[in-house]
Structure 1
């Protein structure tokens, strides 16, 4: 699922989860956990987060089951995610280890208040998968690197909060990386770039709307996930139908009866849901600084793996742009972390 990596209140927007972990609820004094446990949690996040991006790219444009229908893919993944959410919540009633997710609920009066968030959420997911369809995975991070800028802009316009000079300087480095990386991209796509910028904008809006919507469900991100996922399925279904993707799938796709295709689709959707669990564990058992380092390191690994797996060509200018975008994002995360610690 393109969930961000959900980013999103954290720097690395590729952790495309259904809800950003409420990092703003962290205390300045954070508990210490055994290094082995922290390592396992970070590794789990790495694996799940990378799987989300690569499996989606594999389905949309690179696999034997090439399936270039991002809206239908997004809707199907939401459907599977809802099933897993309900099943996990049910299991939690009998097994304490799974009790982090409360029983499924859907109250119409609450749903109406959550609906604006869901509209932003659906657009974020759709633009993310559309971007992934048109750009190489090596350029994916650069194409979606402007979410930090939009976050600062929307935070000021909507919440009236200003950003420090150091954080703005970090954003300048990211923007330079965006420009240089776009100019140097060999397989450049205007469609992918536009969808990437759109995804960045909706990622930023989503993070703000989540902060405003959590109060509706007593600051419980899992309850909000119930409503958000259910509403997203209902909202996206007519969009999928009107887009013409369903008729194109029925007319052009020859492997709909292949169980291997549906296993791949379902497994990809499960990794999208798994991002929620991974982010929950990472926020609970690691520090804010570890989250920042982990996100930036994951983006570097993702770029290197994409170059090796998909054989994406990287020009010198493209490489410089990728480096600047990643460095700027990491520096921004560090600056914000230090600001939180000194408050």
Structure 2
């Protein structure tokens, strides 16, 4: 017991001298030698048991004095001496990496960086005054702007789908008006649906190239408003498939590379990008697209609008059948009932008993319904196949995104533009020999006197713009919703154009059918919205 007390008293006396020295040093009553060199690291503990206790105390005092002097010098330079601990207990050499960014020159060594890190280089990653008071509008743009609202919230996502429906439906109606004006009711009638479809597809492909280049040039504003996913890739994909061969230069430089070195174009692989592996997947979609366009334009050119719509009344029922058979989609009773009731009301609104038609136009319209209903399903399947070739399995994002980061990635953007590029290019390759073999081109060249009239080509340009808008908007809509919803958009649009073309002077039975069709379309909208919300809730619960 006495030996234990003696040991405790000896230990207290051993540490009393260093502690008294540190207290005097903090009051400023002790001066250190000016020529004393500071050591870079802590000395190792001595293992010499023959050294005396006084020597140990003296070396500890010198060590603590040197460390305190270094701390006070460092703190004086940064005016933050009160934030530093009195005695550092962690070895500087074993310090972990700081989570804050540091300004460090390339010539600075690792030891210098460990010894000295100025407090001015430590900055918070997020400012604390964002979104306060009058800065709410600025915070809206700093948090992603309209893109974050449309793609990161449920209300914004519904608004985005509504805008896509209006865009596709409105552009389809505008394209129908232009085709009607060019082939039937215009000053210069051009009743050659095959040649007209070919010219419109050429204009569509040219517009795809120009718009892609314009979007690359406007990449900075698009990223600022949160629509950076719309910027097409400017470089071809790496040979491995999923990786990107990045390019830090955009705009005019990318356009020049497109002209000279096989970059740019629609999908980043140049104007003449062509991959046999991708073309093999897109070929069925291109065949269906060409047949759909040709049969629809042929039926529209030789039949009145009510008869044209009656011949294509089976688009929605066929889309329901294809969705259940090919996509294995489970359609609830509310969606099925609203779609069929809207189609039946459109049939009553379009029916005319005293209209003379040709059987060719009716047959073309009936067969076009098959390809119109099949086209959105093949479009979505082809797009997903191209995405699967670019990103690993499990990274494919479908449906409503839970945040703005899930809207799309660079691989999905490339797949989107690749789908447009190869579908348009293969369609022109398929349609070119058909136009040559049909003999319409020489007949048009020798017998149409207004080919040199600028107004006629202006109408063709407007028709090509409508074709481009519908062609690109359909892929956006089918990605955001489903093939069935994309096909059903034609039902309320057909009901509206039935009374709009007649300048709203339709008979009462037509008005009744149109009103009931629109009410059923709203029913379909509510049913699909509830179904999408339930599906998204199940997806979130399954995570």
TM-score for both structures, normalised by structure 1: 0.74
Aligned to 2:497: 302
Is residue 340 of structure 2 the alignment partner of residue 172 of structure 1? yes
For residues 249 and 273 of structure 1, the distance between their equivalents in structure 2, rounded to whole angstroms, comes to 24
SS in 2 for 1:342: helix
Which of residues 296, 304, 308 is equivalent to 1:136? 304
Distance 1:188 1:324 in 2: 27
Q: Decide whether aligned partners of structure 1 residues 203 and 298 sit closer, same or farther in structure 2, where only a CA change above 3 A counts.
A: closer
CA change 1:256–1:139 in 2 (3 A) is same
The alignment status of 1:200 with 2:200, answered yes or no, reads no
Which stretch of structure 1 is more off in the superposition, 174-183 or 202-211? 174-183
Compute the displacement of 1:205 (Å).
0.7
Long gaps (5+) in structure 1: 1-25
- Are residues 1:60 and 2:208 paired? no
Q: Distance in 1 between matches of 2:519 and 2:360?
A: 25
Q: Does 1:122 align with 2:290?
A: yes
1:294, distance to aligned residue in structure 2 (A)? 8.5
C-alpha change, 1:203 and 1:234, in structure 2 (3 Å) is same
Distance 1:48 1:293 in 2: 15
Could you tell me whether the CA contact under 8 Å between 1:138 and 1:302 is conserved in 2? no
Shift of the 221–38 alpha-carbon distance from structure 1 to 2, 3 Å rule, reads: closer
Which residue of 2 is the match for residue 154 of structure 1? 322
| 1:131 match: secondary structure | helix
Which of 456, 467, 480 aligns to 1:272? It is 467
SS class of match (1:82): helix
Residues 218-244 of structure 1: CA deviation (Å, up to 9, x unaligned): 153222000000000110112222333
Bigger mean CA deviation after superposition, 180-189 or 60-69: 180-189
Q: Which has the higher contact order (CA 8 A, sep 6+)?
A: 1
With over 3 angstroms needed to count, the CA separation of the structure-2 counterparts of 1:165 and 1:291, relative to structure 1, is closer
The CA deviation string for residues 142-186 of structure 1, in whole angstroms up to 9 with x for no partner, is 543321111111223323334333333234324533553454254
The answer for the alignment partner of 1:260 in structure 2 is: 455
C-alpha spacing 1:191/1:30, structure 2 compared with 1 (3 Å)? farther
* Within-5 A mapping of 1:211-222: 211-218=380-387, 219=412, 220-222=415-417
Shift of 1:129: 1.3
Instruction: Mark the CA change 1:292 to 1:134 in structure 2 (over 3 Å): closer, same or farther.
Output: closer
The structure carrying a bigger helix percent of its residues is: 1
Aligned: 1:86 with 2:209: yes
Deviation at 1:322, TM superposition (A): 4.7
Match of 1:336 among 515, 525, 528: 528
- The structure-2 alpha-carbon separation of the partners of 1:195 and 1:327, relative to structure 1 and needing over 3 Å to count, comes to farther
Distance 1:32-1:178 versus aligned 2 partners, 3 A rule: closer
CA–CA separation in structure 1 for the residues paired with 2:302 and 2:457: 23
SS in 1 for 2:156: coil
- The answer to which of 69-78 and 158-167 deviates more is 158-167
Preserved CA contact (<8 Å) 1:138 1:306: no
Instruction: Give 2:252's aligned residue.
Output: none
Report the Cα offset of residue 247 of structure 1.
3.5
* Residues 228 and 43 of structure 1, relative CA distance in 2, 3 Å threshold: closer
Mapped to 1, the partners of 2:338 and 2:185 lie a distance apart of 34
Q: Distance in 2 between matches of 1:303 and 1:71?
A: 25
Equivalent position to 2:156, from 2, 10, 32: 32
Which segments of 5 or more consecutive residues in structure 2 lack a partner in the other structure?
Answer: 1-149, 223-229, 234-263, 267-272, 388-411, 536-543
Q: Go from structure 1 to structure 2 and tell me whether the alpha carbon gap of 1:51 and 1:227 turns closer, same or farther (over 3 Å shift).
A: same
Paired residue for 2:173, among 20, 45, 50?
50
CA RMSD across the alignment: 3.9
Instruction: Identify the residue that residue 223 of structure 1 maps to in structure 2.
Output: 418
| 8 Å contact kept, 1:142–1:322 | no
Count of matched residue pairs: 311
Once residues 52 and 145 of structure 1 are traced to their aligned partners in structure 2, the CA distance between those partners, rounded to angstroms, is 19
